[in-house]
Copies of this chain bind each other. A is one copy, B any other.
Amino acid sequence: MKRVLVMNGPNLNLLGTREPDVYGAATLQDIEAAMASLAEELGVTLRFVQSNHEGVLIETLHEARGTCDAVVFNPGAFTHYSYALRDAVVASGLPVVEVHLSNIHAREEFRRTSVIAPVCVGQISGFGADSYLMGLRAAAACAANER
């Protein structure tokens, strides 16, 4: 059975309470529950990690080598400057799907550039909690193809 790591970056622990007009009313727990449900349907297992620490996210990616088959990753604001996470994505050797709740291409200029996307399989942005569900579908498909 394929294993998918679902990793969330800084400030995403506050989902639902933080700027709900931008990020929606769903909490991270709500999203994880919806993902768990879809995972069952897709026949994959999930591991959830959220951290506000760049180093923890890097090390989670390191540990995912050999223990996971694909990653759904919302890097939060690290999207725009964490070249260390970019290198960790490559180092993981795993297919990584970048997801965003809001449409980052429709917001402040700095949010339009992702330093991580160029080393991911692809990017999904703008569909709220659905971005995660689509990301999970994509990650599951990648994991299956890896075999």
* Given pairs A10-B54, A51-B55, A105-B118, 9 additional interface contacts (CB within 8 A): A11-B87, A18-B90, A76-B87, A77-B82, A77-B84, A105-B120, A110-B115, A121-B127, A134-B138
Say yes or no: is A25 at the interface (Cβ < 8 Å to chain B): no
| Interface membership of chain A positions 82-94, coded 1 if the CB is closer than 8 angstroms to chain B and 0 otherwise | 1110111011000
Distance of A42 from chain B, by nearest CB (Å) = 13
Question: Inside 8 A of A55's CB, which chain B residues have their CB?
Answer: 10, 51-56
- Copies of the polypeptide in the assembly: 12
Interface size, A (range): 35 or more
Say yes or no: is A78 at the interface (Cβ < 8 Å to chain B): yes
